[in-house]
Amino acid sequence: MIGKKMTRKNIIRKILAGASLILLGLSFSASAAAASKPNLVLITIDSARADRMGFLGAKAAHTPNLDRLAAESIVFEHAYAQAPGSVVSHATVLSGAYPQSTLMSEIGGTLPSSLPYLPDLLKSQGYRTAAFVGSIDLDPQNGLAQGFDRGFQTYDAGFRPAIAGDAHPPVTERRGEEVVAHALAWLDHNAQGQFFLWINISNPNATSASYNSAIAAADAAVGKLISALQQRKIYANTAMVVVAAHGEGLGAHGEEANGVFLYDETIHVPLLIKLPETQPSAKPATVRVAAKVRLVDVAPTVLEIAAIPVPSQLPGQSLLRIAKSGSGGDQPAYSRADLPQRGFGWSPLESWRAGKYLYIRAPKSELYDLTADPAAAHNLAQSSKATLDTLASQLDNFDRRFSGDAGKASAELSSSEMQKLASLGYAGLQKSAPTAATVAGIDPKDKIAVANKVIAAATRDQSKPDLAIAALTPVVSADPGLYLAQYTLGVALAQKAQYAEAAKHLRKAVELQPDSAWANYEIGASLVKAGDFKTAIVHLEIATGRLPAFAPAHLSLAEAYEHSGRADDAKKERSKAGQK
């Protein structure tokens, strides 16, 4: 950490001695940087907690490769994600926008084409762009991240969801070492000019027992990439940004995984930046930054490293500028969780980190002094009303910036789609979800045990549907209003060819979240198998409109059209699926 007594001139002298920050860390001359455009590598790691990183002080760390990289990097000790889930958080990293503007959700969505997007901006400036992801969630065609492939010349995903009646097993994740291997194969043919490479290392099924092993595997994958860059003689001219999309609960505050709560276990993430070296032999010392930073700051930082103008719409600021100013750049950090509302029908959550305090807006407000209480174990909401009111007012002011966006789903139902669903007997359909600032209903703190069961079932190996059926049948019996439980149970039943029973649960899922493209697809596919082609067509027309690149949806709709005597329409759908 930079000492308080050091002058700004001394700080600059220390950084200059490291050599790696001469051009890009402290000199913001576009002409100088343009003379030698650096390669850009963005590594995102799912479920990586800051307190498990050796370079952030973990005593029994499993991160030797990251620690070595940190030794020649700018390390941000207090970096915070804007969401506790992979899809929404990655949307923020890649766009530099808050969740209210990306309009993404952990149950799906489409990134707005009007939103400035990092790979798109880099591609327009001559960068070769490629993405290699480790989870189906980040697959634009077969997952929840529609629109993420904009600007990428290569987007390596190709996962396979569980498809009812399909003998092929689902493929929903890829080990970190395999993701890196794919990326290196691409580099063998694309490293001649400047490139932007995004590598996502996912640990979706890490539990408390296996978490250290998962972190070690992610670290090893990063080490493999670094070694390969060095062997190819391109490491010196490569800027590397390593950041976690979110952390993992591991039982803290009762949360086993992530997606619901906004405490440090899931929001405080590791973040480091290794800048290009001017001399391959230089071995600069670590620069540590104590100021709060946010993942909205990542995109403008990458653009500055590449000497590309930052769009005025981006709310974040360059991390290099924050590093230059030391702790003086500290700003409040905002986060939100939409899964409690979208997945379970409970109250959404928002958090505001300012100074030493963490404020969480919920039906039961929370306030913590993280300096005295880093584990957030002692709620001060009742005893420190003045502080609570001040932070709540700050959060209100922040939320007003998004009054036109907050709660507006990117996949919001059109009037035509609402009419189609109404024709099937769906009543009281909501046009959009409530805004995150609306705190009402069930506090997720009171239902975290239920969330743990449902999330565990939803992320369990999809080739074993019996486990999900056994876990979720009593859950939906006790509370039928849980979208994620109804959806996951319906998919599992369809895998067991229990199509009529699956359709009952999937109908409830559509009723709870009618703008869910995946719920409409799954019920449509099940109804085709059950022989209800008329109803299936309605759902599948909605699904194909929202999942235009998902071939199985077009094939299911083609089958329904054929059984309904609509041969020409069936032919068109098969063509959209890539079949003649």
Residues 189 and 149 in one domain: yes
> Residue 450 domain-assigned?
yes
Residues 243 and 390 in one domain: no
Give CA–CA dist 436/326, Å, rounded. 32
Residues 236 and 92 in one domain: yes
Q: E strands, 260-308, where?
A: 268-269, 271-274, 287-294
Which burial class, exposed, middle or buried, applies to 449 when counting CB atoms under 10 A from its CB (0-12, 13-18, 19+)? exposed
pLDDT at 410: 47
> Residue 321 domain-assigned?
no
> Residue 24 domain-assigned?
no
Residues 483 and 515 in one domain: yes
CATH number at residue 393: 3.30.1120.10
Residues 384 and 533 in one domain: no
> Residue 504 domain-assigned?
yes
> Residue 451 domain-assigned?
yes
Residues 351 and 235 in one domain: no
Residues 373 and 464 in one domain: no
Please give the backbone phi and psi of residue 160, each rounded to the nearest 5 degrees, phi first: -135, 115
- Counted domains in the chain: 3
Q: CB neighbours of 245 closer than 8 A, spacing ≥ 6?
A: 44, 45, 46, 81, 86, 89, 90, 93, 200, 269, 295
Helix residue ranges per DSSP H, 106-160: 118-124
CATH number at residue 74: 3.40.720.10
Give CA–CA dist 533/369, Å, rounded. 58
Q: Which domain, by its residues, includes 455?
A: 415-576
Assign 170 to helix, strand or coil: coil
> Residue 383 domain-assigned?
yes
> Residue 360 domain-assigned?
yes
Residues 493 and 388 in one domain: no
- Half-sphere exposure of residue 311: CA atoms within 13 angstroms, side-chain side: 15
Going by C-alpha positions, the residue among 123, 85, 122, 78 that lies closest to residue 102 is 85
Helix residue ranges per DSSP H, 191-318: 211-231, 264-267, 298-305
DSSP letter (8 states) at residue 242: E
CA dihedral angle for residue 105, residue 270, residue 64, residue 288, rounded to 10 degrees: 160
Contact 226, 239 (CB under 8 A): no
CA distances from residue 404 to 343, 389, 438 in whole angstroms, order as listed: 23, 24, 14
Contact 83, 99 (CB under 8 A): yes
> Residue 337 domain-assigned?
no
Residue 293's DSSP bridge partners are 79
Residues 231 and 94 in one domain: yes
Residues 395 and 419 in one domain: no
pLDDT at 411: 52
Residues 113 and 56 in one domain: yes
CA dihedral angle for residue 350, residue 355, residue 357, residue 358, rounded to 10 degrees: 20
Residues 435 and 366 in one domain: no
Going by C-alpha positions, the residue among 89, 450, 108 that lies closest to residue 268 is 89
- Half-sphere exposure of residue 508: CA atoms within 13 angstroms, side-chain side: 23
Tens-binned pLDDT, residue by residue, of the chain (580 aa): 333 334 434 433 343 334 334 333 433 333 344 447 899 999 999 999 999 999 999 998 999 999 999 999 999 999 999 999 999 999 999 999 999 999 999 999 999 999 999 999 999 999 999 999 999 999 999 999 999 999 999 999 999 988 877 878 889 999 999 999 999 999 999 888 899 999 999 975 667 779 999 999 999 999 999 999 999 999 999 999 999 999 999 999 999 999 999 999 999 999 999 999 853 333 456 799 999 999 999 999 999 999 999 999 999 999 999 998 865 668 999 999 999 999 999 999 999 999 999 999 999 999 999 999 999 999 999 999 999 999 999 999 999 998 765 445 445 788 899 999 999 999 877 544 444 456 788 999 999 999 999 999 998 877 789 999 999 999 999 999 999 999 999 999 999 999 999 999 999 999 999 999 999 999 999 999 999 999 999 999 999 999 999 999 999 999 999 999 999 999 999 999 987 6
CATH number at residue 548: 1.25.40.10
Give CA–CA dist 202/179, Å, rounded. 9
